[in-house]
């Protein structure tokens, strides 16, 4: 059976009740595998980016820098920017390199730089895992999938469903036109607020991303202390992480 036939068969398979078990398996496997991984950062970006591209090299460098500070690096587990981020973390060896890949009708292989390699049947369950266990989201240039992940993260933060340290757009030349549209159209028309627009930080300064994440983690720990939330498990894990590196 050809790839197109397999794809059509999947689209026309209406056995939804049985799909529930596959959805459950995705979530159970993800929660069970990732629940104790510790502070992590997720890097998003195109699978099509070649290894001689400047953004590939930046993602590899950033993955290394983050792992050197003890942060696990999570990506979609495939090629391009994802491979670069995993490669940098894997080279460091001071934190885990994690790939959360997706089962597709055509083969999408995992890259060669993973300590944890997971496969998901559904994009939506995979996206939950890509954001749930991370303190920061770093968005490199990418296509439809990357845009989907960016706006999913923005919506979750906007609606206060998640509370990350920051959302960083790496690639000023690439992202500037999009931010201009958001500011001149969405913000101007009132479909988003100024606070929503400020959720994103656009930069090519990798050191700034690492420092900002570090500073904000310390601030979050202090904030939890002031609000008497020291009984929370997340507080204990964060405190241990910052003290024992």
Q: Does an H or E element contain 201, and which? A: strand 200-203
70 assigned to some structural domain: yes
pLDDT in tens, 1-58: 566 655 555 555 555 677 888 899 999 999 999 999 999 999 999 999 999 999 999 9
Rg (CA), the chain: 19
d(CA 155, CA 127): 13
d(CA 149, CA 57): 21
> Looking at the 3D structure of the chain, how many domains does it have?
1
d(CA 36, CA 30): 11
Residue 156: pLDDT band (50, 70, 90) is very high
Provide the pLDDT for residue 109: 85
pLDDT in tens, 73-85: 999 999 999 999 9
More confident residue, 12 or 70: 70
Residue 96: pLDDT band (50, 70, 90) is very high
Structural contact between residues 72 and 42, judged by C-beta atoms closer than 8 angstroms: no
DSSP 8-state class, residue 53: S
pLDDT in tens, 124-141: 999 999 999 999 999 999
221 assigned to some structural domain: no
222 assigned to some structural domain: no
Helix intervals (H) in 35-143: 54-68, 81-92, 123-132
| Torsion of the alpha carbons at 49, 50, 55 and 58, rounded to the nearest 10 | 130
d(CA 124, CA 43): 17
**100 is written with which tokens?**
């959360």
Strand partners, 42: 74, 137
| Torsion of the alpha carbons at 237, 238, 243 and 245, rounded to the nearest 10 | 90
Provide the pLDDT for residue 10: 56
Provide the pLDDT for residue 90: 98
> What domain range includes position 53?
18-28+38-206
Provide the pLDDT for residue 15: 56
147 assigned to some structural domain: yes
3 assigned to some structural domain: no
Q: Give me the percent of the chain exceeding a pLDDT of 90.
A: 78
Q: What is the mean pLDDT of residues 164-180?
A: 96
More confident residue, 107 or 177: 177
> Helix, strand or coil for residue 159?
coil
Query: What phi-psi label fits residue 77: left (phi over 0), alpha (psi between -120 and 50 degrees) or beta?
Result: left
79 assigned to some structural domain: yes
226 assigned to some structural domain: no
Provide the pLDDT for residue 104: 74
The CATH number assigned to the domain holding 194 equals: 3.40.50.450
Residue 207: pLDDT band (50, 70, 90) is very high
**104 is written with which tokens?**
């597709």
243 assigned to some structural domain: no
């Amino acid at each position: 059976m050809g790839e197109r036939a397999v794809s059509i068969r999947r689209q026309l398979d209406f056995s939804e009740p049985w799909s529930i078990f596959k959805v459950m398996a995705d979530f159970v496997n993800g929660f069970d595998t990732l629940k104790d991984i510790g502070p992590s950062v997720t890097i998003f970006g195109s699978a099509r980016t070649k290894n001689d591209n400047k953004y590939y090299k930046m993602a590899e460098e950033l993955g290394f820098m983050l792992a050197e500070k003890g942060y696990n690096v999570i990506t979609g587990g495939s090629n391009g920017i994802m491979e670069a981020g995993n490669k940098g973390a894997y080279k460091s060896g001071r934190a885990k390199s994690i790939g959360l890949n997706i089962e597709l009708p055509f083969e999408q292989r995992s890259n060669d730089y993973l300590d944890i390699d997971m496969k998901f049947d559904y994009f939506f369950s995979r996206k939950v895992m890509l954001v749930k266990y991370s303190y920061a989201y770093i968005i490199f240039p990418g296509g439809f999938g990357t845009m989907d992940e960016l706006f999913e993260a923005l919506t979750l933060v906007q609606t206060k469903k998640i509370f990350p340290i920051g959302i960083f757009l790496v690639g000023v030349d690439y992202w500037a036109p999009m931010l201009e549209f958001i500011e001149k159209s969405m913000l101007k028309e009132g479909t988003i607020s100024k606070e929503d627009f400020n959720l994103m930080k656009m930069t090519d300064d990798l050191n700034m991303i690492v420092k900002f994440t570090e500073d904000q983690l310390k601030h979050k720990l202090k904030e939890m202390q002031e609000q008497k939330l020291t009984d929370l498990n997340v507080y204990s894990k964060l405190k241990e992480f910052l003290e024992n590196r």
